[in-house]
Structure 1
């Protein structure tokens, strides 16, 4: 794969990820119109349904339709969802729900088709390096989007609805870039059959690949919780959610780009123990934001290092530890688990935040992070990485 071609995929990913980052404003969208975090959580639950439709579609049809083209279609679906969000208010619940469904459908299709398009064009030895770079661009888009949109809303008096329309237009640009990538780097082997993946879970469950699949679901809960409700966590303080997004993004992108070549050679056991410990400490630091602003910065850095570096490590683990004939299924289940966490947790997290308060909400996130570490250890023991 030519590096010049990869830029189309990477920058398309950057713009597409900006769309997911814009979902962090859905909470503000409802609160500005008299809603609550419970409404935001329920809306993101509709996005989960969309992802659970999109992921299987790609899982089955990627043999017939090239993955980069599926990414382009995904970008258009997400674009349509944000344009709808930008054209209506919360009273039009049916339209809002359909828009959330489209966003989830697009993000779900993209999240499996884009890494699939990349994976089909690189070797096992290159996968860790390229996946780390890919995830760096993805995280840059996820975190930069709410920062820029918040600046536009607060400094330029732009409405949230207008910001969502801008995101929709960016999705069209991403679609063009994915089509361009597929045209410049055609897949060498074309298939005509459907790719089965559902029933292969029994085989995957007997391999060490099941550990990272469970872990990514738990990590998705943590990530969506701390990012989607960041402004609610900071309510009553003078701190800004944009600060957390900025520091978190800089930490993730810089660490992924600087350490891309080293992550694949560091032993997995000490690496994951260190990273998931950083994630847990970062969540605990969020409890101190009401005492001093430095806790907010520390939380952003620690969670950026912990979640940001652990994700590409476990993604590579899930694929490389699977037999060649099961890798497509492993990647599909990996993405399904991720979306159950990303879009499923906010419905529960929003209720915890509203009914029980910030302390118990952050405590729940820290417990989930520790559960993710606990799941990793048995998988390492099977590979002889634990004494």
Structure 2
């Protein structure tokens, strides 16, 4: 394969499997179909979170043993199995737990190893651009899958059918990653064997001693904000009489367009100041949502502002984690970055589900706004201290 075709196939595989995460936004609707509430959604995503954390920790061991692309292929098969189980389950039980475990295993591997594969194919100067493109395809995949679910519901299908369709797409993704194993090695900028990727206690200590510990902490906060607003968006929208599909579609289009336009943008001369400004916009979007009520224009404005704030700042933060990492610990830094991301993405819904049922949606949104403000302030503090 030519180098450009390798990138095309790789990003196609990323896009096809990314829809699996987007369907986690539909879990409240799916669970409601068999009598389960938001607490159960949070509990199952908590199971996914634990599995994901364990998987991310050992992802380097697996990729060292089987190769990164083959490990990615196996991960997509696991995600496909998880989605199939979600699509056929009609009660809370062992199969639901198995589906959550498989999802955590598969998504933990794909998310942590995806950027690492790119580090072999691009130079340090190209990282922001290609990490941004990677995030575009991830965002397009998981942003459009809830829209697909809404379209299927509109055509008379059940929400569970969206899980079955995406399960097939993940199998196609597995095939694409499997056939890319040899071409990626042939196109690698460094022809030497892959450096060890496994995480050890010594590696963790080295990463936490480096400046990369700040973006690692920040991504956990940002993921919690993202999960708090998006994982239960169907619940928020139904309570206000709004169309959740319009939110996800507007958010996805905003993020994809901006990330494509800014694909070469590296955060400017002071990237942490840029990150801080964007994340204060993210915070503003949550505050507007708290007070927007049933207004459709404000609902769409929230989606746009959240897309600008979170969507644009995230790839810059990934690049900062890679830049702040020690050269010999770049793979481990990106895996730990992914690990803390998943603490927020799959762990925070456990808190959010409890709050919605026992406290209410409004206190949850206030907490999300506070977390967004804290993350933005950490970036601003770093910018003011270092001039970055």
TM-score, normalized by the shorter chain, greater than 0.5: yes
Between Structure 1 and Structure 2, how many residues are aligned? 383
Gap runs ≥5 in structure 2: none
Give, in angstroms, the shift of residue 63 of structure 1: 2.7
> Aligned in 2, Cα 1:167/1:207: closer, same or farther, shift over 3 Å?
same
Q: Say whether 1:168 aligns with 2:171.
A: no
Q: Distance in 1 between matches of 2:236 and 2:365?
A: 9
Give, in angstroms, the shift of residue 377 of structure 1: 3.4
1:122 equivalent in structure 2: 122
Q: Distance in 2 between matches of 1:148 and 1:130?
A: 27
Which segment drifts farther, 170-179 or 50-59? 50-59
1:184 equivalent in structure 2: 183
2:274 equivalent in structure 1: 271
SS in 1 for 2:103: helix
* Contact 1:234/1:289 (<8 A) preserved: no
Give, in angstroms, the shift of residue 191 of structure 1: 4.9
Q: Say whether 1:19 aligns with 2:37.
A: no
1:86 equivalent in structure 2: 87
- 1:1-387 maps to which residues of 2 (within 5 A)? 2-91=3-92, 93-153=93-153, 155-186=154-185, 187=188, 188-191=191-194, 195-385=198-388
Give, in angstroms, the shift of residue 322 of structure 1: 1.2
SS in 2 for 1:236: helix
Give, in angstroms, the shift of residue 193 of structure 1: 5.9
SS in 1 for 2:192: coil
SS in 2 for 1:263: coil
SS in 2 for 1:260: coil
Give, in angstroms, the shift of residue 192 of structure 1: 8.7
Give, in angstroms, the shift of residue 264 of structure 1: 4.3
Q: Distance in 2 between matches of 1:366 and 1:141?
A: 26
Structure 1 vs Structure 2 CA RMSD = 1.7
* Contact 1:82/1:164 (<8 A) preserved: yes
Q: Any runs of at least 4 consecutive aligned residues in structure 1 with deviations exceeding 6 A, and if so which?
A: none
Gap runs ≥5 in structure 1: none
TM-score, normalisation: structure 1: 0.95
SS in 2 for 1:309: helix
* Contact 2:292/2:299 (<8 A) preserved: yes
> Aligned in 2, Cα 1:295/1:120: closer, same or farther, shift over 3 Å?
same
* Contact 2:251/2:303 (<8 A) preserved: yes
Which segment drifts farther, 70-79 or 179-188? 179-188
Give, in angstroms, the shift of residue 127 of structure 1: 0.5
* Contact 1:52/1:108 (<8 A) preserved: yes
